[in-house]
Amino acid sequence: MKTVAILGGGPAGSSAAERLARGGLRTILLDEKLAWEKPCGGGITYKAYSQYPYLMENDKPKRLVSDTYLAAIPSGSVKMSLTHPLVIYSRIVLNRMLLERAECAGVQIEQERVLGIDRQAAGWKIRTRHGSIDADYCVVATGARNPLRSVGTQYTAQDTMYALGYYVPSQRQHIDIQFLSGLEGYIWVFPRADHLSVGICGKGEAAHALRVRLEAYMEQKGISREGATFYGHMLPALEDNGWRNNRLAGEGWMAVGDAGGLVDPITGEGLYYAVRSGDLASQALLSDLAPQRREELYRQQINHDFGFDLLYGALLAKRVFSDIRFFGAVPNRVVEFMRRSPRFCEVMQDLFAGTQPYLELKNRLLKNLDGTVHEILMSFLFRKLVLGQTQA
């Protein structure tokens, strides 16, 4: 293979490009905007920066935040100190840093909009506004709004959610996460180096309705929209069928990051999966395998690394947000259990750090059940008998 074209220069594309260039392949990256403030919370979990330390160890402006308040109606809120802080970037800073790393590794970076790609006898012709580029292989990293219909994930309406918010010129020291009744999603307030990213994501609800919910929350919490900038974007949230039929790779191409639907369907975390899939795609491309086997290897690596876990997450998502059959809406129970059980708090801390796989969550909760129930009962009895309280 001589030349690899990376279509899109967000975290997925620039990560793949950097590794391919370091592996000795001629790599061209095309992005219509290059570094830009892509609509995002910008939160990077411990799972991401422990595997890719440069996401944390750099001199770029960012915030490391540990104090987190989780709130649900009517249970109120609970404070959690994360064992590993969330690292929060402005996306223009993060994207620029990753593009600079790619450039230092030898990637040729071009500001170009890709208009289309055509398969040729050997390789691809990539059409841009200024002409065309020939490449032997394409890595598709054009994000959730991938305009290239023949490659990457084919989303149905059920496989996406809308996310929108405001960059607010204000400061605070902690993260807020607010669950709302009847919403398969949540509101976040993330402090960044010099502003806040305040946003909402939700499945099955129109952008306008989400905006109304968010603005009501901001008003209630005294977060002013004066001087704030609005943002909105699509977020992949594949359902189980979406995962099973996902188009991750085909002849001469692999899709990474959002263009491959690689986002946690419960939390909306996508930055880790963008960087990780860029890494796995480059490993497959740099392997000695025959071309078709490389695509197979990439699919297998994605599945084993995190794909099966996200598929299970897709099955869990509905229950997390709306199952009221057993314990009532899950976010309310989470808040109540966290107040009463240190063991349950540890599980939540690990979920926030990204170190608790969904596939093993049930077993861990069951294993801890005796201790957790004991802690909850003791806390309840203590409040009721000693403090004379009946409400949480």
Ligand X SMILES: Cc1cc2nc3c(=O)[nH]c(=O)nc-3n(C[C@H](O)[C@H](O)[C@H](O)COP(=O)(O)OP(=O)(O)OC[C@H]3O[C@@H](n4cnc5c(N)ncnc54)[C@H](O)[C@@H]3O)c2cc1C
Binding residues vs ligand X (CB under 6 A): 8-13, 30-33, 38-43, 113-114, 141-143, 147, 163, 165, 199, 233, 235, 257-259, 263, 268-272, 274
Q: Which is nearer to ligand X, 113 or 125 (CB)?
A: 113
Q: 221-253 in b/e burial notation, b at 16+ Cβ within 10 A? A: eebeeeebeebebbbbbbbeebbeebbbbbebb
| Chain residue at closest Cβ approach to ligand X | 270
Q: Which is nearer to ligand X, 11 or 202 (CB)?
A: 11
The minimum distance between CB 92 and ligand X, in angstroms, equals 11
The alpha carbon of 140 is separated from its chain's Cα centroid by a whole number of angstroms, namely 18
The minimum distance between CB 116 and ligand X, in angstroms, equals 9
Which two structure tokens, joined as six digits, stand for 187? 């509101």
H/E run at residue 100: helix 91-104
The minimum distance between CB 38 and ligand X, in angstroms, equals 5
The minimum distance between CB 273 and ligand X, in angstroms, equals 7
Q: CB of 102 within 8 A of CB of 65?
A: no
Which two structure tokens, joined as six digits, stand for 227? 């001087």
Which two structure tokens, joined as six digits, stand for 46? 């411990």
For residue 27, which amino acid is it? T
For 360-366, which contacts have Cβ atoms below 8 Å and span 24 or more sequence positions? 361/316
Q: Which is nearer to ligand X, 166 or 337 (CB)?
A: 166
The minimum distance between CB 326 and ligand X, in angstroms, equals 30
Q: Which is nearer to ligand X, 270 or 331 (CB)?
A: 270
Q: CB of 42 within 8 A of CB of 149?
A: no
Q: Which is nearer to ligand X, 109 or 334 (CB)?
A: 109
The minimum distance between CB 291 and ligand X, in angstroms, equals 23
Q: Which is nearer to ligand X, 43 or 331 (CB)?
A: 43
CA angle 129, 134, 139 (to 5 degrees): 85
H/E run at residue 372: helix 369-381
